[in-house]
Structure formats: C-alpha cells, structure tokens
Amino acid sequence: MAVLTALIFPFSVVVFAAVLTPRHASALTRQDFPERFVFGAGSSAYQVEGAAAEDGRRPSIWDTFTHQGYSFDGTTADVSADQYHHYKDDVKLMHKMGLDAYRFSIAWPRLIPDGRGKINPKGLEYYNNLIDELILHGIQPHVTIYHFDLPQVLQDEYGGLLSPRFMMCCSEDYTAYADACFQSFGDRVKHWVTVNEPNIEPIGGYDTGSNPPRRCSYPLGADCTGGNSSTEPYIVAHHLLLAHASAVSLYREKYKATQGGQMGITLLGWWHEPATNTVQDAAAAVRMNDFHIGWFMYPLVYGDYPPVMRSRVGDRLPSFTAQESEKVCESFDFVGFNHYLIMRVRSIGTGSSQNPVDYYGDAAVEYPSKDISKGEVETAPWSLGKLLEHLKLSYGNPPVWIHENGYADAAAGEAEYDGDDHDRAEFLQDYVEALYLSIRNGSDARGYFVWSFMDVFEYLFGYSMRFGLCGVDMNSQGRTRYERSSARWYSGFLHGGELRPIAQSQKSLVE
Ligand SMILES: *[C@@H]1O[C@H](CO)[C@@H](O)[C@H](O)[C@H]1NC(C)=O
Ligand SMILES: *[C@@H]1O[C@H](CO)[C@@H](O)[C@H](O)[C@H]1NC(C)=O
C-alpha cells in the first residue's frame, strides 16, 4: 500500500516573477546568467591526486577497498591522474579553459594521517600550494572537506562513521579535522562543503555493502562480514548530518566573522520518476525523492526527517534531541547537488517482521533492472529542471550549486583520451540551457561545475568510465593530459562564446 507524502510548508516560498522569453533567434552566452554566477569543473582528492603513499599520507577506507580488488576493473587510485605532482600544469589548463572555480576536496588522510592529532606538514604544504596557485590564476577554490576518504585508522579504531565518536561536537574527530581546514585555508577558501553525497555513502557502505567499509546483512546485501542493512544506513546518515551541523556551528562561531565564507553540504541528486503510469508508481517516485533528497533536506530546512520516513522507518530512524534539531536546522548557506540520472521506480509491498527491510524496502520501491555498471542509465536535461523546481517548492528555494554534472565515456581504445567527444559537449550544453531556464523561472542557482575537469579514478568503475573535459593517458609515465573537444567547447563558452541556439537542442528541455 502506498502512502502519499504530505509535505508541510511552514513558510511561504518566495517565487520571483520571471517570464520565460523564448530565445529562438539568439543563443545563450554566459552574460545571460546572473552576474556572479560561477562556472567551474571538479574533482576529488582520492580520485585525482595519486601519491597515495607519499609524503606521509596514510590509507583511507577507499585505498583498503581498492587494494582488496573491489573496483570493477580491479584498479586503484594509487597514481590516478597524479595531480599531486602535476597541479601546476593542471591549474594552467584550468586558466586557459577559463574556469571561474575549481572544486576539489582535501584528503583527510593526507592532512591528518592518523585521523586526529598532528597535521602533516607535507599535506598542509600541498593544499597551500594548490590553493595559492589557483588564486594566482584568478580561480576560486571550492573545497569539500570530506569526500568519502575516511582515514582507515578511524575505521579500525572505532568503526568510523557508525560510531557516535565521529559526530560528537567540537573535540571529536571530524570537527577537529574541519577546524584544521578552516584554520589553515579559510583565509583563501570562501566556499566550503562539509560532506559530499551523505545520501549515498550510507547506502553503498552499510546497506548493499558494495562500497567501503562493505557492511551489510543478508539477504539485503551479500558478501559482507558484518553489518545491519536495516539500521546502520540510518545511523551513519544521522552521524554525517550531525557532523555537518557541528562543522557549520564551529565555522559560524569561530571563523565566519573574520573569514566571511559560505558553508554547505552536497547531495547526490538523482531525480526519481515512476516506471509506469500507475498511481502506485507515481506515489513511489514521490516517496523515493523524499527518501533520497528529503533525508537530508528536510532536517536541514525543517529540523527533522521527512514524515514519510518517520512513519515508514519507525524506531530504526534515529531521533534528534531538541538541541540537535536546532543545530541541524538551517545549518547551511547553500546546498550542492550532483545531478546525473533519472531513476525510474516501481512500487513494491512493504516488508514484514519475517522479512527484514533496508532503505529501499522502507521506501517500498525497486528500480527496474537497468544495469548501471553497464552504462544503462537514463538522462535528460528536464530532470535538472524538476530537481530545482522541487527544491524551490518543497524547501524554500535555497541557494543551490550544481556541483557535478557530466557525461561518461567508456574508456575504449588507446586513442580515446584525446578523441573528439561531441556527445559530451552536446550533453553539457543541454544542461546549461536547462539550468538557465530554471534560473529564469526563479530558482536560486549560483554555479555549475562540470564533472570532471579531467579523467580521474571513478570509484567503483575505476578507469572504465571517463568524464573528463581533459583526457588523461593513464598508461603514460607522466599521465599526459589532452584537451578533448568538450574542453574547447567549454572554453569557448566561458570566454564569451555562444551556446548553440536553444532551438537546436538535441534533447527536449521539457518532458
Ligand atoms: C538489525 O537490527 C534490528 C534492530 O535492532 C534487529 O531487530 C535485527 O535483528 C538486526 N539484524 C541483524 C541482521 O543483525
Ligand atoms: C516555473 O515556476 C512555477 C512556480 O514555481 C511553476 O509552477 C512552473 O512549473 C515552473 N516551470 C518550469 C518549467 O519549471
């Protein structure tokens, strides 16, 4: 039985009166975007840096996982694109491309290799150099503090994200690490993301067990040595949310007045649509958007989990004390979204006490059998519009950064890294147009980052999937970089060139 979500709006949504002007004749340029709108591209530390065992860096849970052979192609990010040694050349490329901003993350196991305590001087030096180089070239650093790479030592010592130790305020490990970041880099970094994709890390790591630290329980996940898929994902998400709020409180109390930066959190922004036109599936899609997006947005805006999660997950869903609720509520200046896919969902029956349920069981949905690992995915630019419209109507139109959006190629042949990728350029133009239309329609989008600036290690997919504007020859000693044609397209646009006219879009902008 499907329960329709009742979203409550305690404050009225301000909708800017905006008239959509058809622009058949002229094409978009970046001048059509708001004055301070930022265009960038991104990466994350584990995916791009390499130098995994150099200059005092210690393993993260992802090093352990890849060294056990769990990426689909059996690779690791020990070297990857080796940005650790090539950051100067990379910043030159970014400058040539015309990026306003570079989104990257700090590796906790490089800056504080033991998880807490002493700062590694070599790690500090690396990030200082990278940040200085960016600023020297007029590129804003947008920095993620935690992007999946938890120090393995904290996993071993107390169970990492599952432990209350991860989130307890101020003296505890994540907040102390965030404090070190603000103190070391906050004079130059004005955009901070506390946590990347906290709405998927608990699923991969603690429900299906497909990602580190590979915890799950049978039959919900397979091949795990421990875990509880019915409870742990919710606990881990709760800890990530409280850790986020704790870092934001700390920043506001100790650094905001002098450093004047903005703080946010970045969610994975799958957009769920019904698999069929039944009312059950329509309700399932609404429910799943609440489980996926509302899991974090609802507490951030209203101070508690969405009512549909409260009623379906019951006492397996952690509760907030009044003090925690107050701390979480409005603990952001912006929210980031990584938007790629449309996910079709089907409604299924709910579990019983004989059949334990996980997150998807609680949501009473299943995904039809597309195999994401084989690239069987659905994308269309209108889903970005729907996501932004949803944030506008359900969550008070927060300032939003599209922190990731991009197009994957399979890494097929030898020459692929410098090949023409017109499909990617087309794809990105479609989304830039969709974003423009949402802004015209009142969404408060502040920036757009292409994933990824260059080819990187794509987590589970290793090097078998490439998203880079710049290609990287992962087999060459110096990890040679190549400008793909999408890089030339983006560069042209960023230097004032026209997007091809809207009328020529390859894909429809509305469903
Ligand atoms: C998971 O936790 C729930 C709630 O504590 C418990 O009822 C269930 O038996 C646990 N499952 C496993 C596989 O340990
Ligand atoms: C534009 O915004 C209005 C008000 O929120 C909404 O009703 C409409 O569906 C939006 N249009 C698009 C194309 O998103």
Domain boundaries, the chain: 14-494
Per the CB < 8 A criterion, the answer to whether 86 and 44 are in contact is no
Which of the ligands is closest to the CA of residue 437?
A: 2
The residues facing 454 across adjacent strands are 470
Predicted pLDDT at 279: 97
* pLDDT by 10s per residue, the chain, length 511: 222 222 222 222 333 333 344 444 468 999 999 999 999 999 999 999 999 999 999 999 999 999 999 999 999 999 999 999 999 999 999 999 999 999 999 999 999 999 999 999 999 999 999 999 999 999 999 999 999 999 999 999 999 999 987 766 556 899 999 999 999 999 999 999 999 999 999 999 999 999 999 999 988 887 888 999 999 999 999 999 999 999 999 999 999 999 999 999 999 999 999 999 999 999 999 999 999 999 999 999 999 999 999 999 999 999 999 999 999 999 999 999 999 999 999 999 865 556 788 999 999 999 886 565 565 688 999 999 999 999 999 999 999 999 999 999 865 444 466 678 889 999 999 999 999 999 999 999 999 999 999 999 999 999 989 999 999 999 999 999 999 999 999 999 999 999 875 544 444 444 4
Q: Which of 271, 386, 441 to mutate to test the pocket of ligand 2 (most atoms within 8 A of CB)?
A: 441
Which of the ligands is closest to the CA of residue 397?
A: 2
Which tokens is 302 given? 């209203």
How many angstroms separate the alpha carbon of residue 441 from the centre of ligand 2?
A: 6
Strands (E) across 126-217 are located at 140-146, 191-196
**CB-ligand 1 contact for 229 (6 Å cutoff):** no
How many angstroms separate the alpha carbon of residue 496 from the centre of ligand 1?
A: 57
Which tokens is 51 given? 């130098």
404 counts as catalytic: yes
Ligand 1 atom nearest residue 316's Cα:
4
Q: Angle between the 485-494 and 83-97 helix axes, to the nearest 10 degrees?
A: 50
Q: Which of 217, 231, 234, 315 to mutate to test the pocket of ligand 1 (most atoms within 8 A of CB)?
A: 231
Contacts of 274 (CB under 8 A, 6+ apart): 281, 282, 284, 285, 344, 345, 346
Give nearest CA residue, ligand 2 atom 7: 389
Predicted pLDDT at 236: 97
Predicted pLDDT at 24: 42
**CB-ligand 2 contact for 389 (6 Å cutoff):** yes
Buried-exposed string 423-443: b where 16+ CB fall within 10 A, e elsewhere: ebbbbbbbbbbbbbbbbbbbb
Distances (CA, A) of 173 to 150, 242, 247, 278: 11, 13, 11, 47
Q: Identify residue 98 by its one-letter amino acid code.
A: G
Ligand 2 atom nearest residue 437's Cα:
13
Predicted pLDDT at 503: 42
How many angstroms separate the alpha carbon of residue 389 from the centre of ligand 2?
A: 7
Determine which helix (DSSP H) or strand (DSSP E) holds 481, and give its type and residue range. Answer: strand 481-483
> What predicted TM-score, i.e. pTM, was given to this entire model?
0.92
Per the CB < 8 A criterion, the answer to whether 454 and 469 are in contact is yes
Predicted pLDDT at 154: 95
Q: Could you say which architecture CATH assigns to the domain 14-494? A: Alpha-Beta Barrel (3.20)
Give nearest CA residue, ligand 2 atom 9: 389
Predicted pLDDT at 470: 95
Which tokens is 404 given? 């990731």
Predicted pLDDT at 372: 59
Predicted pLDDT at 420: 83
**Cis bond leading into 369, ω under 30°?**
no
197 counts as catalytic: yes
Do strands 445-451 and 400-404 pair parallel, antiparallel, or not at all (unpaired)?
parallel
**CB-ligand 2 contact for 381 (6 Å cutoff):** no
Which of the ligands is closest to the CA of residue 355?
A: 1
Predicted pLDDT at 509: 41
The one catalytic residue among 197, 232, 324, 433: 197
Determine which helix (DSSP H) or strand (DSSP E) holds 245, and give its type and residue range. Answer: helix 232-254
Predicted pLDDT at 418: 65
